[in-house]
Structure 1
Amino acid sequence: MQDQSFWYLENVDMNGLFCANKLEGALKGKSFNSFKKGDYIYLPDQSSDKIYFIQSGKVKIGTFGDNQREITKAILGSGEIFGELSMIGEDKRRDFAYAMEDTNLCCMNNEEMKALMKDSSSVSMFMLKVMGSRVLNMENRLESLVFKDSRSRIVEFLVDEVEKKGQRIGYEYVLRGFLTHQEIANITATSRQTVTTLLNDLRNRNIITFDRRRLLVRDLDALKAEMV
């Protein structure tokens, strides 16, 4: 199953827009950056003046709560954009961006992107959808935190990841690049122990199986039923 995120479906070549050498002269504000696994791309309170495109790799967007507990807001991969709040008045970063694996980024300063949005209705619409999608995702997460218990939140996250990024193989679905139990806990506002207990329970009932690199869903309908 392919990722259904809209940034892969819109008729806008964001890789070419941010990264292609043929645009080097036109996009003077464009730059290229490589980050090793474990590097921070930016931290809270740093200047918010660029927008980033992930050419390859994986980036975590998050913040620090009470007692410096890490709260994960999003995990993004190749073809996705982040740092977009700089376009709507964010002077300093509220979140951190962290390379979860070796990552290559292309970035553009805000003024350059604003000029492109002014000149291109396609780019403008694309960026509006990026921002709108992020708002909707945060609203959905807030509703989940308020109305659902920890078990339902974890299962909902697994189902969402599989439906967006999983590959169907017969009646099963495989999700590669599976997150650690702690990462799942951070993004679902639960504990690592709760995640581990639930995953082991689902595995014992032959609904899923997993290792450090992948999650295999043997029965997606049964997994969805766990959300009720």
Structure 2
Amino acid sequence: MQYDYGRCEGARAIPDTFYPIEKLRDFTHIGVVKTYAKDSNVILPGGKDYMLVYVLSGRISLNLMTEDGRERVIYFSGENGILGRLYKMENENDTYAVAIEDSKVCLFFEEHLRIIFRQDEDMIFEVLRNCLSKVSYYMRQTIERDFYNPTIRILRLLHGLYLTNGISVGDSYEIRMDLSLQFISEITGAHYVTVSKVLKYLKEQKIIEKKKDKIIIHDLEKLKELTHEKHIYKYIY
């Protein structure tokens, strides 16, 4: 599925690709191009010494495994997105990446990046912008969790998805994404049961209807209003 990554950048709702670097395609002859079948490991915990994984096609999921064995998606990287480790981190043995579609990537090692940066100094800022866009997203996520209760975070996510991916269809808006309840739970930090209750309430109130591969917003103004309603949980629980 194709998403409009560039639309309404400041209101990004899900951790997906962030700032794509199309210009990096001009330097793939310097790196190492590899293909991965769906469900293949692209980055293993404590992986090798390459610094960047540049996605040429397909889709990669970067995941974190906690000490007690639980797993969580950190972010996705689609076409022209990058993943990797510019510097060795203490917790890098906890992260791994998986191709969730048949994918082609280019691996860049330190010596490759030095060549690229010497040939095109602007590429340094492109990579920095990609990294900082991730930092900015997770800073906002931290603030969301500090200032909003789980119910409001779910509502704000849904409204954010409208801003970034909403498509007008008749009197409604559609968000054409296959987002599971579990994934919404992981993004917002809300319990799976809370997500289920919120979506049930929104459907009963004819505000939002969630289907398998899309979310339909029937009453956008009411949804926006609820994102500012501090006591909405009283109606849901």
**Shorter-chain-normalised TM-score: which range?**
0.7 to 0.9
Q: Which residue of 2 aligns with 1:87?
A: 86
- How far is 1:170 from its partner? 5.2
Measured in 1, the distance between the counterparts of 2:102 and 2:182 equals 20
Q: What is the DSSP-based 3-state SS (H/G/I as helix, E as strand, rest coil) of the residue aligned with 1:87?
A: coil
* Matches of 2:187 and 2:49, distance apart in 1: 23
Deviation at 1:140, TM superposition (A): 1.0
| Matches for 1:145-160 after TM superposition, within 5 Å | 145-160=145-160
> Hey, what's the Cα distance between the residues in 1 that align with 2:186 and 2:115?
37
What's the counterpart of residue 57 of structure 2? Answer: 56
Whether contact under 8 Å (2:210, 2:216) holds in the other structure is yes
Q: Describe the superposition over 1:18-67 as per-residue Cα deviations: whole angstroms up to 9, x where unpaired.
A: 4xxxxx3xx1x22122231x333223322352312233333322312353
Where in structure 2 are the equivalents of 1:16-31 lying within 5 Å?
Answer: 16-18=26-28, 24=29, 27=30, 29-31=31-33
**8 A Cα contact 1:181 1:192, kept in partner:** yes
Alpha-carbon separation, structure 1, partners of 2:77 and 2:125: 20
| Residue identity matched to 1:7 | Y
Match among 16, 33, 36 for residue 34 of structure 1: 36
Residues 1:186 and 2:186 aligned together: yes
Unaligned residue ranges in structure 2 (runs of 5+): 10-17, 229-237
Question: Is the CA contact (8 Å cut-off) linking 1:35 and 1:41 kept in structure 2?
Answer: no
Q: Given the superposition, is the C-alpha separation of residues 81 and 194 from structure 1 closer, same or farther in structure 2, using an over 3 Å criterion?
A: same
Aligned equivalent of 1:7: 19
Q: Which amino acid aligns with 1:41?
A: V
Describe how 1:123-138 pairs up with structure 2 within 5 A.
Answer: 123-138=123-138
Q: CA deviation at 1:146?
A: 1.9
> 1:104 Cα deviation (Å)?
3.2
Moved more, 143-152 or 112-121: 112-121
TM-score normalised by length of structure 2: 0.76
1: CA distance, partners of 2:197 / 2:101: 26
The TM-score, its normalising length taken from structure 1, stands at: 0.79
Aligned to 1:71: 72
Please, which runs of 5 or more residues in structure 1 have no aligned partner? 19-23
Identity over the aligned pairs, expressed in percent?
Answer: 20
- Kindly tell me the number of residue pairs found equivalent between the two proteins: 215
